[in-house]
Amino acid sequence: MSRTSLLKIVLVLTGIAFLLIYPLAIVWPSGWAWHQGAPYASDYYMMIVGVYATLGVFLILAARNPAANRSLIWFTVWSSLVHGGIMAGQALQMPEHMGHLYGDVPALIIVAAVLAFLLQGETRTATA
């Protein structure tokens, strides 16, 4: 399987995962929600779910032609690293949020690493 084909699959799976952030907070709140109570009880959480759901839809659409959507994919890589890094720092400072070091923090870092690796391969293939 080519890197481009694999990148397309990963984009769709990442998009779906981003669309599932709300249900994940219901099933595993200590790993995905940063507040007590139902996900809809936090205005902040609902805003971040909206942003990630929108990004998820656009990643699924980007899978059709990853080369034409490189900036969106790189945005996903870098924003995931920044978001995951900030959350890791916060989780380390607040013992009640340590579950995030096993949930959304590694998920974002893995997404960033895999997309960056596959996009680098896409770049080499496209320029070769």
pLDDT in tens, 105-122: 899 999 999 999 999 866
Question: Helices 70-93 and 104-127 sit at what angle, rounded to 10 degrees?
Answer: 150
What is the number of domains present in the chain? 1
Q: What is the pLDDT of residue 45?
A: 83
Return the amino acid letter for 90: Q
pLDDT in tens, 54-84: 999 999 999 999 999 999 999 999 999 999 9
The closest alpha carbon to 63, from 6, 117, 98, 12, belongs to: 12
Give domain status of residue 44, yes or no.
Answer: yes
pLDDT in tens, 29-61: 766 776 677 777 777 888 989 999 999 999 999
Q: What percent of the chain has pLDDT over 70?
A: 90
Give domain status of residue 34, yes or no.
Answer: no
pLDDT tier, 27 (very low <50, low <70, confident <90, very high otherwise): confident
Give domain status of residue 88, yes or no.
Answer: yes
Would you state the structure tokens that stand for residue 85, as one six-digit string? 């890094």
Give domain status of residue 100, yes or no.
Answer: yes
Domain assignment of residue 61, given as a range: 3-29+39-127
Q: What is the pTM of this model?
A: 0.84
pLDDT tier, 124 (very low <50, low <70, confident <90, very high otherwise): low
